[in-house]
Amino acid sequence: MARRGSSEFINLTLTEFLMVIIFILITLLFYTFQKYLPENHDSTLTPKESELVEGNATLFAETLFHVDTADNATEKPIFQFIDEMEKLLADPDVRQGFETTPLPEIWDTLEAMEEEEAYLRKTIDTLKQAIKDAKGETLEQLVREKTRLTKKLGTVTKELKKYEPLHAELGTKTPAAALRKVRDREGQMADLAERARKQGIGSPLCWSTKDMPKEYLFSIDIMENGMFRVTPIQPEHRNEALRELGYPFANKTVYLTMQGFKEQMQRFWDYGMRDNNCRFMVKVRDLTTTKERWKQGLGLVENYFYKLEVP
């Protein structure tokens, strides 16, 4: 393999330079979690985590030195991504320390804490109702249990408040949702880098993580009668995200007319435009008997989604 001369390294194109900046920002992103993690957290890098970090470095190094940047159509989402990273890194305190804990581990912990907080609140409300009608020893037991759970709820709520600055920066409702968004950004960058390596253009996938580069939203069958049979096939960990998007048929297959399809799918296009200019990915199957009807239905799907045609 031919090596570049020193002058070639200096004369980087704009997109190559942006890739260098993005790699630095992704690395600095790990600093964000230092002040939000419990103080007793072990930050020692395991062999598996070291391999993950090295893999990321290799990915961006390969992107930098092999990408053909003649077309700058990918620069818009890259600029948007940089803007979001700069917001996260605006606080100089964020740059202190270096946290190497994998994001999925933090993500799972936060989700468990949020579920526990919701469960405790519901249980305490139930106890309050029971206390109204209780007497004697039963009343004493219920009061003790309510006191114990209230104290535990305070501890969990206090722990979750540590993460509030992070999810406030990202505009999400909960800390766990903020980390899901950061994890999505990580996957989107890997997807963008892959597109750049293949000289592709366009927006990153809305749902994409490093361990699952392509996460599908729907399986869509284009029918002979002009209807669209739409079946949700999202990964289990995206169930809550799909509900938050307001799609009313998250757990069942539905048949939609062309107009109904437009009305229901517009929400996913709008979300993508707000969120890093991303697009969702779907699987599409041809159940028509004429090429004209298939092309018409496929064109409508492509107005809203990236698609994979399946037999």
Amino acid letter, 77: P
Identify residue 85 by its one-letter amino acid code. M
Q: What is the DSSP letter of 198?
A: T
Q: Which residue has the tokens 């912990």?
A: 109
Confidence grade of residue 311 (pLDDT, cut at 50, 70, 90)? confident
Residue 283 pLDDT exceeds 80: yes
The whole-number pLDDT of residue 115 equals: 76
Packing angle, helices 47-66 and 14-29, rounded to 10: 170
User: Distance between CA atoms of 44 and 112, rounded to whole angstroms?
Assistant: 23
Full-model pTM: 0.41
- Calculate the CA 287 to chain-centre distance: 32
Residue 1 has pLDDT above 80, yes or no: no
Candidate ranges 7-11, 109-113, 194-198; pick with highest mean pLDDT: 109-113
Q: Which two tokens stand for residue 18?
A: 């942006």
Amino acid 157: pLDDT: 78
> Where would I find the beta strands (DSSP E) of 144-276?
216-223, 228-232, 254-256
Question: Could you give the percent of the chain with pLDDT greater than 70?
Answer: 49
Tell me the three state secondary structure of residue 275. coil
Which phi and psi (to 5°) does residue 221 adopt?
-100, 125
pLDDT of residue 163: 63
More confident residue, 101 or 229: 229
Looking at per-residue pLDDT, the higher value among 276 and 77 belongs to 276
Mean pLDDT of 1-30: 50
Q: How far apart are CA 267 and CA 279, in angstroms?
A: 11
Per-residue confidence (pLDDT) for residue 198, from 0 to 100: 53
pLDDT at 35 over 50: no
Confidence of residue 188 (pLDDT cuts 50, 70, 90): low
Within 8 A by CB and 6+ apart from 16, the residues are 64, 67, 69
Compute the distance between CA of residue 66 and CA of residue 199 in angstroms, rounded to an integer.
10
Strands 228-232, 281-287: pairing kind: unpaired
Instruction: Look at residue 202 and tell me whether its pLDDT is greater than 50.
Output: yes
Could you give the angle at the alpha carbon of 70 between the alpha carbons of 67 and 71, nearest 5°?
Answer: 100
Average pLDDT over residues 11-39: 51
pLDDT of 152 strictly over 90: no
The neighbour count for residue 137, using CB atoms within 10 Å, is: 8
DSSP 94-142: GGSS-----HHHHHHHHHHHHHHHHHHHHHHHHHHHHHHH--HHHHHHH
Cα torsion at 274, 278, 283, 289 (round to 10°)? 80
Structure confidence at residue 253 as a pLDDT band (50, 70, 90):
very high
The amino acid sitting at 249 is F
81 or 98, higher pLDDT: 81
Average pLDDT of the residues of the chain: 68
Q: In the predicted model, is pLDDT for residue 106 greater than 80?
A: no
Q: pLDDT above 90 covers what percent of the chain?
A: 15
Average pLDDT over residues 127-151: 81
